[in-house]
Amino acid sequence: MKSKRDLYSYDDIVYEQAEISGNKFNLLYSFAMIILSVGVVLLTVLKVFRVSITIVLPISILAMILFILPFFILIFHDKIIKKNPSLLKWWRYKYVIYVFTYFGLLAIDLTFSFHAVILIVIPPLMAAQYRFIKRDWIIIFITTIITIPLVLYGSILIGIPDLNIFKNMIEPDKLNDFSSRLSILTTKRCFEIFIHYCLPRILAVIAIDFLIAEIVKRNREMLDKQAELNKKINLQMKKSNDLQNAVIEELASVIESRDINTGAHVRRTKKYVEILCNEMMKNDKYKDIMTPDLAHKIISASPLHDIGKIAVSDLILLKPGKLTPEEFNKMKIHTIKGGELIEDFFKQFEDDSFLKEAYEIALYHHEKWDGTGYPDGLKEKQIPLVARIMAIADVYDALTSKRVYKEPYTKEEAYNIIIAGTGNHFDPDLVEIFKKVRNEFEEVINLKL
């Protein structure tokens, strides 16, 4: 189940995309800082920078580790926790990137004292990549504010004094003396430092944060409008999809009603196909083939599998006994007729993405794995996957339903007949899928469809 905060107020792809692009941008930034840190170390070693290597090296390594950590957490989360590449959607991930990159910057800042730009501008700019809610802003604002005095006192203790602050506080020849630096930290001095150094910077942070918060707010309003629009489009699509499915089911039921007086066969087989497709999506062997989009098409198309029966005479469809070979040959025509009807019908539409599955289901759902089926006697994987799925659903329902010529088989008998059909009637891999969903199939029999 999704976290309540996963996508904030709307469960919408727009916000998800906004979060993902924010994460991508800041990861890229974090990577750039790693390169920068390596460059700084090299330039220091080459003595281009006149900063003590004993300070630059440990702090640059610390900064690099901090910048690199979000990448490790990405891999850790991806491989161990989620086992699929969905990390950039994880709502907490922005804090991981933000916190580590921010502290990496802080480490660099302690070494090189270029805090004015880093402390005031970069953290809110990083935060601005996301669609933040108020509480997030407060966290980032406080983190930034606390850092200002921290950097100042850290600088004093490490011994990289900001000349503007120390100019009038310590004798120039005592700048490198730790106890002299420490001696300035009296309450009075701390107060002076706070007033003259920290406060102006804090005010600058507040001003910049306000500015960026406004930009984020406007960005958020635009996203809200886009999300609202998406919602309307999705609703409209759902309505037309429901209508399409209802028309297909009704059409198929009308044809079925000549045969068994009910549309229940259509609805149950649809349910069986749905169960098989859902299980295939979870299965290692099929999860790359059975995408949600394909599953949706197969499920929606499944009610049309016997649409070709419209061309079969009532005398054959309603015959209570066994069909003669001649009658059976006429019955077989429903597959070819069904394929033709679907082709003619769907080619009238610009979007014919539904055509392929519906066509293959209608034409090939009576093919058998060993090549003894009809109409074309296709064998094994020559038979389209959708038709192999439909075959199991169709036969299972035929077995467990009452027909004019037979009583229903029990659940146990029907299960055993499908298993016995492994490798001759049915695709062995799909029978394995069927075995896993036996209980779900048996629950469908009890449903009043």
From the list 123, 125, 93, 100, the residue with the least C-alpha distance to 16 is 93
| Nearest residue (beta carbon) to Fe ion | 306
Closer CB to Fe ion, 101 or 335, in the complex: 335
Closer CB to Fe ion, 188 or 402, in the complex: 402
Nearest distance, CB of residue 253 and Fe ion, angstroms: 15
- Binding residue count for Fe ion, defined by CB under 5 A: 1
Question: What six digits make up the tokens of 327?
Answer: 């009658």
Instruction: With contacts defined by CB under 5 A, name the span among 176-184, 276-284, 303-311, 420-428 that binds Fe ion.
Output: 303-311
Nearest distance, CB of residue 390 and Fe ion, angstroms: 9
**Residue 26 contacts residue 94 (beta carbons within 8 Å):** yes
Nearest distance, CB of residue 306 and Fe ion, angstroms: 4
Nearest distance, CB of residue 369 and Fe ion, angstroms: 17
Nearest distance, CB of residue 375 and Fe ion, angstroms: 11
Instruction: With contacts defined by CB under 5 A, name the span among 125-133, 142-150, 171-179, 304-312 that binds Fe ion.
Output: 304-312
**Residue 112 contacts residue 172 (beta carbons within 8 Å):** no
Nearest distance, CB of residue 96 and Fe ion, angstroms: 55
Q: Out of 12, 109, 274, 306, which residue is the one contacting Fe ion (CB under 5 A)?
A: 306
Closer CB to Fe ion, 181 or 365, in the complex: 365
Residue 186 dihedral angles phi and psi, to the nearest 5°: -85, 165
Closer CB to Fe ion, 190 or 333, in the complex: 333
Q: Residues 179-218 vs Fe ion: string with x where CB under 5 A?
A: ----------------------------------------
Give CA separation, 261 vs 29, 232, 289, 328, 362, in Å: 66, 39, 36, 21, 21
Q: Which sign does the torsion angle of CA 291, 293, 299, 304 carry?
A: negative
Closer CB to Fe ion, 162 or 343, in the complex: 343
Closer CB to Fe ion, 130 or 364, in the complex: 364
Could you write out the DSSP letters of every residue in 26-82? HHHHHHHHHHHHHHHHHHHHTTSS-S-HHHHHHHHHHHHHHHHHHHHHHHHIIIIII
Question: What six digits make up the tokens of 355?
Answer: 């055509």
Length of the chain: 449
Q: Within a 10 A sphere around the Cβ of 322, how many other Cβ atoms? A: 9
- 225 burial type by CB count under 10 A (0-12 exposed, 13-18 middle, 19+ buried): exposed
Q: Counting contacts by CB under 5 A, is residue 256 touching Fe ion? A: no
Closer CB to Fe ion, 306 or 367, in the complex: 306
Nearest distance, CB of residue 317 and Fe ion, angstroms: 11
Task: Give SS3 for 111.
Answer: helix
Q: Name the site residues for Fe ion (rule: CB under 5 A).
A: 306
